[in-house]
Amino acid sequence: MKDEDDQTVGKAAVTEAVQQLRTHLEGTLIEPGDPDYEEARAVWNGMIDRRPRAIVRATALSDIDAVLQTARATGLPLAVRGGGHNIAGHSTVAAGIVLDLGALNQVSVDTANGLLTVGPGATLADVDRVSTEHGLVVPLGVISQTGVAGLTLGGGVG
């Protein structure tokens, strides 16, 4: 068990690491007390009420690596949010880091091969919007707010 001095040093190191993370991001780092914090921490299932230490709204793929390095270095729990549509609340975490990929929702279509490529934050709505423009249909799920990555990796009922 750590004594009180070790916990203080640990908290200071985490605070320093989170502030250092801010300097390596193209996206936004949101902390408790910031004006956007309450909205940023909310997830689809309103019964889930967790308070992350930091929320990173990634706007570039390089933000992902910076967040992963910080989580690894600090030992803070990490939750990754694509669409945030998970009944169990896996897209958030208490006292850890939430990596919000929602802005990385690009969808591109290779019409010659009938293939779609989706960004890590793309939702079913993003896929539907782009695929229907090209006369394509992708059978993914039934809730448009669902993230493609979460549905693909974690399952669902669609």
- Its CATH class, for the domain covering 4-100, is alpha beta
pLDDT score, position 84: 82
pLDDT score, position 145: 87
* pTM for the full predicted model: 0.88
Structure tokens at 103: 């802005």
**What are the residue ranges spanned by the domains of the chain?**
4-100, 107-154
pLDDT score, position 3: 42
CA-based torsion, 48, 54, 57, 62: positive or negative: negative
pLDDT score, position 114: 85
118, 148 Cβ separation under 8 angstroms: yes
Q: Distance of alpha carbon 51 from its chain centroid, rounded?
A: 14
CA dist., res. 125 & res. 132, Å (int)? 11
pLDDT score, position 157: 54
Q: How many residues does the chain have?
A: 158
Grouped pLDDT means (10 residues each) for the chain, 158 residues = 47 93 97 97 93 98 97 95 86 96 96 92 95 89 87 68
Distances (CA, A) of 45 to 74, 89, 106, 138, 146: 28, 7, 24, 25, 12
